[in-house]
Chain A
């Protein structure tokens, strides 16, 4: 039977026929072989990854691109936690229809503060790199709570529960220290307090929508939904402001 074939016989099938040549010794020296393999894979790695790592074109900066505020950063971390990048890209390509659909194409310097980058690889949902300022906060509150209530055929998961969770800011100071955004502890506290004051203010333009999705007990607090909306409103805003100045 086929599967009881003796492996000793098979040994002849798989072993190298005897041949001369300078390279043949290599196939009987595993450590030399491993070192040579490492060298071979490192050539392309060094050329396309390690050397560019130290080139200025990989670290473009620009005055018009500002780091995330404390609340935007917390929102970004929620975006990361929920894996939004699995369905949304954040890079507009320099193609006619793409620019028509989303806006100005993405520039390298826009991502200077992105650790990690969140460009994504699949557009189950639309690109978000120019989302900031496109809709009012009220639109986002309603949409995050139930995408299907606004677009019947949308397949986006509903995120109503984000409004039922108080934003955790215990690690914000540490996070900003790691990222090197350079805000002092007081500045971070002020950013959080300011944003909280903005969304809890009776005069907040998206007040009605926010109240509708936020449980009463949390209306005076910052929720995870507040933060992720702050982040979405930041996306592409620096570029849009630059364009407006021109």
Chain B
């Protein structure tokens, strides 16, 4: 099979989509970050925080995240199976349908059509479209795997298979609802049960979008961009199966000390702690892949994205289970600490890994070197600094607010009213906004770099 018969247009299409939704999602993010200390920016109903926050999370999680995953999957799939995409026109339709769905998702969320279930806010007609899209994607994934010319499936393909299967189960089960009309439905589940289903979904949608396929990228692009073989296949096997087994038990750590049955909470804590092991299995595998070749952190601009990315993944997977512990959760939950936690994963691990994957793929598929490695390096440092300032600020703010909520006077009464606690956070919110601007500039450079590389190749 020659290089030329691979379908790279679909990869490029999803790369463009990812960059577009990334920029839109970050603009919305900056807007709501400003609203947090200046409510004057809630200019109209559709610009109010309650509606915009879900545009931000869906735009980045589903728009940017999924598009990046689709781009990388269509690339990795062809390479590791040594088979061109089996149904290229179906893949093209997937690209169009995806962008239509995300655009309609953004518009409908702006309009307040939301189910409120986190990361599952879309109303039922869009849910059906998402399921159709996923089936179309899965058809190409499995067709390529069945027709593959490489006997063994490399570890990245396992993660892609696990994602394809699990997202389908999660999405369908959590979104079951009874329609009232075209724009409104009620969850099939009620109260405590609804909460339990939702956070089983909420936790695992993060797991199987922001962990599993990003690991697929990491396991493929780190070896190919460094030229170093993966440290241990045995470790990757153990990590994979124990990760996907344990993940599904842990959703209720989002429901600590709520009316959900206590045993479900406790089981979730136990499995969350266990999850540190398989998560670090991948971290260790990544680090040891570089053993003896750490100079590549300096000499190869891509390696530092991957290694910093997996480092944030490692920190994330220690922080997550820790804050799931009942006593610590009682302090941290509902504060900005958790917001900091999420953004270390998304701004650090996910975006760094997707960035470097794009930097690797785009020169490959356009046959020209990257426009500027210097710009890529500036991009790296800006998003690293932006993210660190962002998350550390939120952690400090979270600790402060948690402490103020808990503070009591000697007579046993509360020291602070609620407003004291929120007003004390405004300086942090201003720093967070500034950090977001730094990050955003880094992302603009990233998009520009990719864009110019592709444009040059077309001349």
Contact = CB atoms under 8 A, between A and B. Distances in A.
Interface in A151-205: 151, 153-159, 161, 171, 174-175, 178-179
A22 interface: no
B369 interface: yes
A16 interface: yes
A236 to B, nearest CB: 13
A59 to B, nearest CB: 6
A94 interface: yes
A241 interface: no
A83 interface: yes
B418 interface: yes
Given A14-B80, A117-B191, A121-B118, A87 B49 contact: yes
A77 B115 CA distance: 10
B220 A14 contact: yes
A108 B248 contact: no
A178 B180 contact: yes
Interface string A35-50: 0011011111101110
- Contact residues of B: prevailing secondary structure: helix
Interface stretch (B145-153, B382-390, B436-444): B145-153
A115 B196 contact: no
Contacts of A123: 334-335
Interface stretch (B22-30, B85-93, B256-264, B278-286): B256-264
Contacts of A38: 165-166, 169
Contacts of A243: none
A216 B412 CA distance: 48
B223 A13 contact: yes
A179 B186 contact: yes
A107 B413 CA distance: 24
Interface stretch (B61-69, B99-107, B128-136, B227-235): B227-235
A83 B252 CA distance: 22
B142 A41 contact: no
A160 B120 CA distance: 29
Nearest to A124: B422
Interface string B262-280: 0010011001000000000
A116 B408 contact: no
A135 interface: no
B343 interface: no
B230 A13 contact: yes
B48 A15 contact: no
Nearest to B162: A37
Interface in B24-59: 35-39, 42, 45, 48-51, 53-54
Interface string A1-43: 1111101011111111100000100011011011001101111
**Which residue of B79, B146, B302, B418 has the most chain A CB atoms within 10 A of its CB atom?**
B418
B351 interface: no
Given A86-B49, A95-B330, A174-B181, A3 B370 contact: yes
Interface string B326-349: 000010001110110000000000
Interface residues of B, number: 118
Residue among B224, B248, B423 having the largest count of chain A Cβ atoms under 10 Å: B248
A122 B254 CA distance: 11
A157 B35 contact: yes
A209 interface: no
Contact of A45 (B142, B169, B302, B413): B169
A41 B165 contact: yes
B262 to A, nearest CB: 10
B258 A44 contact: no
A45 B53 CA distance: 29
A116 B194 contact: yes
Contacts of A4: 363, 369
The listed residue with most B CB atoms (<10 A of its CB), out of A14, A17, A38, is A14
Given A27-B158, A34-B161, A59-B193, A48 B249 contact: yes
Contacts of B117: 116
Contact of B257 (A23, A82, A93, A118): A93
Contacts of A45: 169, 200, 248
Contacts of B190: 59, 111-115, 117
A177 to B, nearest CB: 9
Interface in A139-154: 147-148, 151, 153-154
B172 interface: no
A34 B118 contact: no
Contact of B50 (A48, A58, A157): A157
A241 B75 CA distance: 61
B51 A82 contact: yes
B433 to A, nearest CB: 13
B39 A148 contact: yes
A89 B258 CA distance: 11
B363 A3 contact: yes
B186 A108 contact: no
25 contacts: A7-B364, A10-B227, A27-B158, A33-B153, A34-B165, A37-B161, A38-B169, A41-B166, A41-B244, A42-B248, A45-B200, A52-B193, A53-B197, A81-B112, A82-B45, A83-B50, A100-B413, A108-B192, A116-B116, A116-B186, A116-B198, A151-B419, A157-B48, A175-B184, A175-B186
Interface of A: 1-5, 7, 9-17, 23, 27-28, 30-31, 33-34, 37-38, 40-45, 47-49, 52-53, 55, 57-60, 77, 80-87, 89, 91, 93-95, 97-98, 100-101, 106-108, 110-126, 147-148, 151, 153-159, 161, 171, 174-175, 178-179
Closest 10 CB pairs of A and B: A83-B50, A111-B191, A44-B248, A157-B42, A30-B145, A44-B249, A81-B112, A108-B259, A153-B423, A16-B152
